[in-house]
Chain A
Amino acid sequence: MTPRVTLAIAVRVLTQLRRDHRTLAMLLVLPCLLQALLWWIFQDTPLVFDRIGPALLAIFPFFVMFLVTSITTLRERSGGTLERLFTMPMGRLDFLVGYALAFGAVAAVQAALAAGVAVGLLDLDLRGPDALLVVVGVVDAVLGTALGLFVSAFARTEFQAVQFLPAVVVPQILLCGLIVPRERLPRVLESVADVLPLTWAVDAMEHLATTTRTGEVWRDVGIVVGFALAALALGAATLRRRTD
């Protein structure tokens, strides 16, 4: 891995995003709008918003980054740019970490905006420190990026890549505690939820919402980082310099 190359890739991904206004809007504005929609839905039942709001702050960055990363990497694979890069002095980790850095930076902005809107404008009741909300958002987005990098290896077209969304992301959303609190899930599903990364991201947000103690939040952040690193390692394994 060469810092020069890693950084070059991160800067290039950000330049591409800057040119793509629609994707940028989806990454930055959409989470705020959805958050506002949710607030509106639960206008007469603010307690529900206080329960679901934090969970959504965890789900958006994960969801969006997964989608954007899996498609952009797939484009690199099918457009020949990845193959060209592999004939150059680029290591697999340069590629993966470059992407993770770029989307991590976008995620920081996204998390700050979404948290700002939720706490500042929509009166989301949060006990824990606001800054930690951004930290959780970032690791969460990096997790989405890492998983997106990984699954893009199994898709041949952008259409197939999108199909991983219902397969990989939606079950995690259903089981993460958003719909039914985890401890009230059937025993088997609860154990399944325990090994899904999004569960821990949502758990971190819920702790932030309900308590000023940060110990559990950091533990959850650690778990999510672990999942993200594992997904990056898997992604590295699927990224081959020599292919058929």
Chain B
Amino acid sequence: MMNSVVEVAALRVVRGGRPVIDGLDLVIGAGVTGLLGPSGCGKSTLLRSIVGVQRVAGGTVTVLGEPAGSGPLRDRVGYQTQSSSVYDDLSVLENLRFFARVLGLPPSAAHDALLAVDLARHGDDVAGRLSGGQRSRVGLAVALLGTPALLVLDEPTVGLDPVLRRDLWALFHRIAEQGTAVLVSSHVMDEAERCDTLLLMREGRIIAHGPPADIKAAQGVADIESAFLALVEEGRR
């Protein structure tokens, strides 16, 4: 019934007097969607617009049929900012229980989220003392609380070791199979292959949108990085 999870129409965002996104149209569906592009291309701004914390200058963003950031969406969209966005001075479980309470979920939800990110052994550890990868997973666990219909993750795999990155992408796919649409941003092009659908972004515009194989085939290249370069060249001509 609902094929599109996110619909962006004529979105315009101005930051510091400069348009960061200017007239963006986009439809995002189920599965794992990767938003890829270089640093500063507007990925975070787009994600923030989708979760409704970005001040926008024009256009509309509709999530699950409701205006982005509106009341009915607040317990249906999980979001993780670029930082892990958890309280460093609380234990992992204290963090999860707090956010579960805000969402009106029972304490057992905290434990479920902990299991999902494979941190069961670290429940009583203080978040600030965990490694970067573990803290990022705590942030992810918070976003997973209450099984949201849409999960928006801003660069959750940056700086992690390859094994952990692989595990996290496997987790994103498991979550997507259970019916949650997952939108993940990254500036690492080699993560493209792990997505069902790809959004390539540059200078506030989406320059390609589709399954990774289709994007590569359309440009007649073997990898996404080459496809990205070819698309940029094409745009210049």
Contacts and interface: CB of A to CB of B under 8 A. Distances in A.
A244 B15 contact: yes
A244 B71 contact: no
Contacts of A12: 87, 90, 94, 98
Contacts of B227: none
Contacts of B98: 8, 11-12, 15
A188 interface: no
Given A15-B90, A19-B90, A81-B87, A87 B102 contact: no
B156 to A, nearest CB: 13
Interface in A50-103: 79-81, 83-90
B109 to A, nearest CB: 13
B79 interface: yes
Contacts of A45: none
Interface in A149-182: none
Contacts, number: 86
Interface of B: 15-16, 48, 51-56, 69, 71, 74-75, 77, 79-90, 94, 98-99, 101-104, 126, 142
A87 B99 CA distance: 11
Contacts of A79: 83, 85, 87-88
9 contacts: A4-B101, A11-B101, A15-B90, A79-B85, A83-B48, A87-B74, A88-B99, A242-B53, A244-B15
Contacts of B52: 87, 241-242
Interface residues of A, number: 26
Given A15-B94, A83-B53, A88-B74, A242 B89 contact: no
Given A12-B87, A15-B90, A87 B51 contact: yes
Contacts of A44: none
Contacts of A242: 52-56, 69
A89 B71 contact: yes
A89 B102 contact: yes
Contacts of A43: none
B123 to A, nearest CB: 15
A-B interface, 8 closest residue pairs, ranked by CB to CB distance from nearest: A80-B85, A8-B101, A80-B81, A89-B74, A242-B55, A80-B83, A84-B85, A12-B98
A214 interface: no
Nearest to A84: B85
Chain B binding surface, main DSSP class: loop
Given A16-B87, A89-B103, A243 B77 contact: no
A149 to B, nearest CB: 17
Contacts of B84: 80
B102 A8 contact: yes
Nearest to B50: A87
A83 B85 contact: yes
Given A8-B102, A20-B89, A81-B85, A87 B69 contact: yes
A20 B126 CA distance: 12
Contact of A80 (B15, B82, B94, B99): B82
Contacts of A30: none
A166 B116 CA distance: 48
Contacts of A36: none
